[in-house]
Structure 1
């Protein structure tokens, strides 16, 4: 399914098939590119622009296989997904970029950041990774090949905006193939060892009650950067950012535009 011109908003260097701009900015001083979690979609970030500075444009990645791209097959290989997003971002390199990735999206954002830096010499303003173990601490869960019941139970344990939808048989049938494809991408992902260091500074965020990710897992993100690194632990579970979005995004905006 294609996106209408009205939904795309004013002209932008960003590919409208891959990126959604909830509040288009004609001359942004910075673009914040947000990468959703497994099973997640660009709409997860639709409210964030209200808490960002007016001259910061948010662009949420729309992975194939969901929302208005639901007719497309989900990408199940990390290298393919990161390559395609990095290519789609090339026209947007006229402005400073920062990335925010939540859960699976943190790994995708990191892989795209490495490609942008290696291929184009562009260093992001910052890479913000949320609720996802660093590359050196990732271990396959095997859930992508588990039964539907086991997979659904894991998704619902993590919470999030769509976990309750999986209680409804029709919605489960619609959503589960894409969720399973994302879990397969996660299970089969093998980061380079050791992970190449990038110049971009990294900020790691974690909920203090996350059932799958601990402080040590997040602190290890320091290994991927030659820039500065910071870790912040916030109240909440894997989706801590749902309840804390106003204060979190406001602080993130200040961080990205300071200096």
Structure 2
């Protein structure tokens, strides 16, 4: 049951060569990857990671600590590590997948074959995380600035009341996670930077290169902080070419 809560199969593919763990952005949910099974080749099995506190896990308390989040995730993930896997993380999800890879290495467990990150400033820059320790009005203003949140949500007090605690908890995970100086990952890393992303610009994302000793690449795509359809297709094309 723990695996069912954490991992949402997007199209069961028993004969796939590799599993792709997909990590959503702050305040998001596993549903952001619902179309990926139709977009990726059959040799890749996409599995979306659902963090506590949202969607079918809304009764659970969301994590506010990266260490606790990753520890619990590894507990559930470890029995599945007999199959090759890679990770894709969007914004907050990029940091979670990166922290997960480090913790797997620390425990001498199998590492992802490749790590894909998008819309996330490189950890080494120690950029201040906004929103998590500010009042609700400033947090909503931050959401408006980032874009990506439907106007009907921003204009509905009940929806905002439900969303803000989840978003704040997710941003707290990021805001309280201190960067540690450690050996680069022995995992190839590929970054996707939105040309118009002021939160995680191409210059800020380029520094992900210091986080790996196994090869780094980056694509600058014509999108903002949240992927548009063109940007999504570019991400899918790169992952399909690499893993498929």
Q: Structure 1 stretches (4+) deviating beyond 6 angstroms?
A: none
Do the aligned partners of 2:132 and 2:168 also contact (CA within 8 Å) in 1?
yes
> How do residues 50-65 of structure 1 correspond to structure 2 at under 5 angstroms?
50-65=38-53
The residue that corresponds to 2:193 in the other structure is 206
Q: What is the alpha-carbon distance in structure 2 between the residues aligned to residue 128 and residue 152 of structure 1?
A: 28
TM-score under structure 1 normalisation?
Answer: 0.88
The alpha-carbon deviation at position 163 of structure 1 amounts to: 6.2
> How do residues 99-248 of structure 1 correspond to structure 2 at under 5 angstroms?
99-160=87-148, 162=150, 164-192=152-180, 194-248=181-235
| Structure 1 unmatched runs, 5+ | 3-13
Do the aligned partners of 2:192 and 2:235 also contact (CA within 8 Å) in 1?
no
TM-score under structure 2 normalisation?
Answer: 0.94
Do the aligned partners of 1:126 and 1:202 also contact (CA within 8 Å) in 2?
yes
SS in 1 for 2:240: helix
SS in 2 for 1:57: strand
Which region of structure 1 is more displaced relative to structure 2, 160-169 or 128-137?
A: 160-169
Structure 1 residues 120-151: Cα deviation after superposition (integer angstroms, max 9, x where no partner): 34232110011111111122234212121110
- Sort the Cα spacing of 1:256 and 1:244 in 2 relative to 1 into closer, same or farther, 3 A: same
The alpha-carbon deviation at position 177 of structure 1 amounts to: 0.7
Which region of structure 1 is more displaced relative to structure 2, 227-236 or 166-175?
A: 166-175
Q: What is the alpha-carbon distance in structure 2 between the residues aligned to residue 55 and residue 113 of structure 1?
A: 22
- Sort the Cα spacing of 1:142 and 1:160 in 2 relative to 1 into closer, same or farther, 3 A: closer
Do the aligned partners of 1:241 and 1:248 also contact (CA within 8 Å) in 2?
no
Which region of structure 1 is more displaced relative to structure 2, 194-203 or 38-47?
A: 194-203
- Sort the Cα spacing of 1:236 and 1:84 in 2 relative to 1 into closer, same or farther, 3 A: same
Aligned pair 1:72/2:60, yes or no?
yes
The alpha-carbon deviation at position 242 of structure 1 amounts to: 4.7
> How do residues 76-91 of structure 1 correspond to structure 2 at under 5 angstroms?
76-91=64-79
Do the aligned partners of 2:143 and 2:149 also contact (CA within 8 Å) in 1?
no
| Structure 2 unmatched runs, 5+ | none
The alpha-carbon deviation at position 174 of structure 1 amounts to: 1.0
SS in 2 for 1:100: strand
What is the root-mean-square deviation of aligned Cα atoms in Å? 1.7
Aligned length: 244
Correspondence for 1:45 among 26, 33, 45:
33
Do the aligned partners of 1:22 and 1:59 also contact (CA within 8 Å) in 2?
yes
Structure 1 residues 153-205: Cα deviation after superposition (integer angstroms, max 9, x where no partner): 1112212255641221111111111011111111111121x243111000011
The alpha-carbon deviation at position 243 of structure 1 amounts to: 4.5
